[in-house]
Amino acid sequence: MLLRKGIALVIVLMVLDVQTCLAQIMNRASFPKGFVFGTASSAYQYEGAVKEGGRGPTVWDTFAHSFGKVLDFSNADVAVDQYHQFDEDIQLMKDMGMDAYRFSIAWSRIFPNGTGEINQAGVDHYNNLINALVANGVEPYVTLYHWDLPQALQDRYNGWLDQQIIKDFATYVETCFQNFGDRVKHWITFNEPHTFTTQGYDVGLQAPGRCSILLRLLCRGGNSATEPYIVGHNVLLSHATVADIYKRKYKPKQGGSVGISFDVIWFEPATNSTDDIEATQRAQDFQLGWFIEPLTLGNYPSSMISRVGSRLPRFTKTESALLKGSLDFVGINHYTTFYARNNTSNIIGFLLNDTTADSGAITLPFKDLQPIGDRAHSIWLYIVPHGIRSLMNYIKEKYGNPPVIITENGMDDSNNPFTSIKDALKDEKRIKYHNDYLSNLLASIKEDGCHVKGYFVWSLLDNWEWAAGYTSRFGLYFVDYNDKLKRYPKDSVNWFKSFLTST
């Protein structure tokens, strides 16, 4: 027995040693030819200049300026000022060896009122940004909607709650295809539809802040039992509509592709019980399945149909046919892993009456008061590198191994006012995070045969993080908010530079 234990220990140590060696020698050349490395951002979190260039107000301008909605009472009126500093930021990407930049177009810069007359100044700005990227050998990946709905559409007909949004979104998106599609070959219609659907219309913690949970203590209006599903339905039909427009009218000449970026926490059963294993699948159905299954299979997951019942909108046969197969690639924003267990209590359902209660699953990063991994700064972000490999295999097995791009992955540090810039630049934890997640991603490709085509770091710069404001720092570059937004490279910049230039 002792001998067997000794042999087992030696084997474990050998495996760990091999993994360490692999991590040390892993670099760009370890990944398949053509694999894309980049960084990601969004317009409202980066651009600033909210009243320049003809830009119209958005629901996030309204939300961020509402008292108590943002942790540090900040807003993104200035953000990191990329509207004026994109040339310098592109140079940072180029110097690091990044292949691509994922950014979003602000709908209200193109159509300040959501519809109507095109704002040429907005078109010119994005043309200048795209041209600068191309001139520096950085490929543009464009997100068409990253949560910043024009406020005019919210005022006019409640935005995503009305089917008129499908037509208005299509007009806006086709304008982008027409003006930028000669240089943009990768389009992402929506960023994290699950997030803005649930956070904006279920729990009310993000714009436009609608909900009915907890006896409507958090929100002035909304219905958590129905509105998230209506919004999700209209988002799916909007994607399918513009994907069809692109395929018919623009793809033959422009040769690009259209996908979506889904937010996906990987879930592991809290126990080996059948109840918890089934709850884990339901949790994934109500997260990823909610949006990917209509786009790959033509309908919602069966667990959603049975558990939500008449509150879940239905697709017509024509809509189902339009939806099915409308993804050229699957974007995945993945940061962390949680445990999932069956919800045996009726209390949560009584208090919330929302999508969480409908799933019948409770998801938390703890089990028996023990965290699932080391925590970053955000209360939800626990570091579990093997989760990305498990997720890639899940997508491969369940959805036929589609092309996948990791459109966001990263971790944050706190914005501690007592930490010097010199100390803030020492981000060994971030380096280890990316090394370990990339190692697992590489294993999913090389060992498991997962069809992963790219990896985008969130984020190039520290930036305004929605309801967390400026309390959280995700960037490879430190931004000094107290000194003209100067950018300073953290140690992770040098790590990526070495990673991307080694052969």
Walking along the chain (503 residues) 10 residues at a time, the average pLDDT comes out as 39 38 74 98 98 98 97 98 98 98 99 98 99 98 99 98 98 99 98 98 96 81 97 99 98 98 98 98 98 98 98 98 98 98 73 81 96 98 98 98 99 97 98 98 98 98 98 98 98 98 80
- Cα angle for residues 108, 109, 110 (degrees, 5° grid): 90
Tell me the Ramachandran region of residue 298: left when phi exceeds 0, alpha when psi lies from -120 to 50, beta otherwise.
left
Question: Within a domain: residue 432?
Answer: yes
Question: Within a domain: residue 13?
Answer: no
Tell me the C-alpha distance between 29 and 201, whole Å. Answer: 44
Q: Is 408 a catalytic residue?
A: yes
Structure tokens at 213: 């949970």
What per-residue confidence (pLDDT) applies to 21? Answer: 44
Among 192, 227, 293, 319, the active-site one is 192
DSSP class of 413: E
DSSP class of 230: H
Tell me the C-alpha distance between 105 and 319, whole Å. Answer: 27
Closest to 443 measured CA to CA, from 501, 393, 384, 497:
393
Query: What is the reported pTM?
Result: 0.94
Mean pLDDT of the chain: 94
Residue with tokens 């710069």: 461
Question: Within a domain: residue 317?
Answer: yes
Question: Within a domain: residue 170?
Answer: yes
Q: Is 192 a catalytic residue?
A: yes
Tell me the C-alpha distance between 11 and 217, whole Å. Answer: 56
Question: Within a domain: residue 95?
Answer: yes
Residue 188: CA count within 13 A, CB half-sphere: 31
Closest to 315 measured CA to CA, from 299, 296, 293, 295:
299
Q: Which residues contact 362 (CB under 8 A, 6 or more apart)?
A: 279, 340, 341, 342, 343, 348
Question: Within a domain: residue 17?
Answer: no
Question: Within a domain: residue 8?
Answer: no
Tell me the C-alpha distance between 309 and 316, whole Å. Answer: 16
Q: Which residues contact 57 (CB under 8 A, 6 or more apart)?
A: 50, 108, 150, 151, 152
Kindly give the interhelix angle for 227-245 and 164-180, rounded to the nearest 10 degrees: 40
Question: Within a domain: residue 195?
Answer: yes
- 3-state helix, strand, coil split of the chain in percent (to 5) is 50, 15, 35
- Neighbour-count burial for 120-157, b at 16+ CB within 10 Å, e otherwise: eebbebbeebbebbeeeebbbbbbbbbbbbbbbbbebe
Residue with tokens 């997030």: 195
Among 227, 293, 408, 465, the active-site one is 408
Quote the number of domains for the chain: 1
206-225 per-position pLDDT tens digit? 999 999 987 577 898 999 99
What per-residue confidence (pLDDT) applies to 351? Answer: 55
CATH of residue 274: 3.20.20.80
Residue 97's domain spans which residues?
26-501
Q: Name the phi and psi angles at 80, rounded to 5.
A: -110, 15
